């Protein structure tokens, strides 16, 4: 027990030393250090922070000079944190958490229905559903400007990467509010010209006689087929792509059979839906915002308008 207490005391002491080393530094340098350490490269950090690679490189050099530490090993694959950098990471993350908490609190004090609201959504939702809804929101609240971030990666609401998220899964982060909007059905589709003699398959086994469009790196489609009793490997798909909208275009072009939201497949007259009674789990839609920002009037207003508009559009 005494040994454990000594270890804990030493860790606490080291944490305070790291905090002392970082406290008087420019926060932008620490923010850049965290991004490079977590992304593993200047390019990844630059994309995450919206900065240029030369700026990130300058920040790292300034921080190394200020701390008299070598923070990264340079190698062909990117940047790897040194032991000294790993020792600084907990304190730097604690500073980031405190900064973000302060930012959320300050943002929550704004009472005006004006300013910017940043919305992140999947590429499919951003292209197929949100444009008309955002136009309605702008007409209703002209004082509010809207930033739309189409991406199939998850943006962190607590770190202000976005104010509101339209997500295709149930959020699990703490300190967020979320509303279930809809369950979107998924179907299997193929271009009618790929059906031999125009005959539509009626059994699962018959589907495997068709060429297949699937994922490149993602395993979600392979796992989805496995849930239906169909065991496939990556090589079973003759054309592969991880972008959902591009996958739809590939199926529509006649590259093979693929899975897609029925709201996309049904509106394309060249496509035939296969085995419509097949029980494929739907894709959930959730509207989410950080709790502190939900109390900001302009964000609350956009959140409520999106909830109403999405519920109607996806019904």
Contacts of 284 by beta carbon, 8 Å cutoff, 6+ apart:
168, 169, 170, 180, 182, 183, 184
Distance CA 111, CA 191 (A): 52
Taking the C-alpha atoms of residue 310 and residue 285, their distance in angstroms, rounded to an integer, is: 9
Average pLDDT over the chain reads: 84
DSSP state of 181: E
pLDDT of residue 10: 43
pLDDT given for residue 183 in this prediction: 96
pLDDT for the residue 1? 42
pLDDT at 227 over 70: yes
pLDDT value of residue 156:
58
* pLDDT for 2: 43
Q: CA 202, CA 73: separation in Å to the nearest integer?
A: 58
Highest mean predicted confidence (pLDDT) among 62-66, 73-77, 144-148, 173-177: 144-148
Residue 5 has pLDDT above 50, yes or no: no
Comparing 30-34, 108-112, 125-129, the range with the smallest average pLDDT is 108-112
CA distance 189 to 268: 10
Average pLDDT over residues 110-122: 82
Strand arrangement, sheet containing 186-191: 258-261, 186-191, 271-274
If one compares 228 and 302, the residue with the highest pLDDT of the two is 302
Q: Specify the pLDDT at position 157.
A: 62
d(CA 298, CA 296): 6
What 3-state DSSP class applies to 202? coil
Q: Give the whole-angstrom CA distance, residue 236 versus residue 254.
A: 17
Average pLDDT of the segment spanning 37-52: 84
Q: Please report the pLDDT score of residue 15 as a whole number.
A: 41
267 pLDDT band (50/70/90 cuts)?
A: very high
55-78 CB burial, b ≥16 within 10 A, e <16: ebbebbebbbeebebebbeeeeeb
In this prediction, residue 198 carries a pLDDT of 87
Tens of pLDDT along 9-41? 443 434 445 445 555 677 888 888 888 888 888
Instruction: Specify the higher pLDDT residue, 159 or 221.
Output: 221
Mean pLDDT value across residues 252-259: 96
Three-state DSSP class for residue 18: helix
111 versus 218: the higher-pLDDT residue is 218
Lowest mean pLDDT among 93-97, 176-180, 212-216, 285-289: 93-97
Average pLDDT over residues 82-93: 87
Please indicate, yes or no, whether the overall pTM of this predicted structure exceeds 0.75. no
């Amino acid at each position: 027990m005494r040994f454990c207490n000594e270890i804990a005391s030493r860790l606490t002491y080291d944490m305070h030393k790291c905090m002392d080393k970082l406290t008087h530094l420019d926060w932008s340098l620490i923010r850049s250090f965290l991004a490079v350490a977590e992304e593993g490269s200047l390019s990844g950090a630059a994309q995450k922070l919206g900065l240029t690679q030369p700026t990130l490189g300058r920040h790292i050099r300034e921080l190394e000079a200020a701390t008299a530490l070598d923070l990264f090993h340079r190698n062909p694959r990117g940047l790897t944190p040194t032991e000294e950098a790993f020792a600084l990471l907990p304190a730097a993350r604690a500073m980031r958490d405190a900064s973000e908490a302060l930012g959320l609190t300050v943002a929550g004090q704004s009472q005006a229905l004006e300013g910017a609201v940043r919305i992140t959504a999947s590429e499919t939702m951003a292209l197929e559903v949100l444009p008309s809804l955002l136009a309605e929101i702008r007409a209703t609240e002209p004082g509010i400007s809207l930033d739309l971030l189409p991406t199939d990666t998850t943006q962190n609401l607590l770190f202000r990467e976005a104010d509101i998220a339209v997500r295709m899964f149930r959020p699990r982060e703490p300190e967020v509010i979320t509303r279930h909007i809809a369950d979107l059905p998924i179907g299997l589709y193929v271009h009618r010209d790929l059906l031999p003699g125009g005959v539509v398959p009626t059994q699962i086994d018959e589907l495997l006689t068709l060429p297949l469009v699937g994922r490149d790196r993602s395993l979600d489609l392979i796992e989805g087929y496995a849930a239906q009793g169909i065991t496939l490997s990556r090589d079973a798909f003759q054309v592969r792509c991880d972008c959902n909208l591009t996958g739809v275009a590939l199926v529509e072009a006649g590259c093979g059979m693929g899975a897609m939201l029925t709201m996309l497949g049904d509106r394309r007259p060249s496509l035939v839906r296969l085995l419509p009674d097949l029980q494929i789990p739907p894709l959930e839609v959730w509207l989410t915002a950080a709790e502190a920002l939900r109390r900001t009037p302009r964000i609350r207003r956009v959140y409520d308008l999106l909830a109403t508009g999405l519920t109607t559009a996806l019904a």
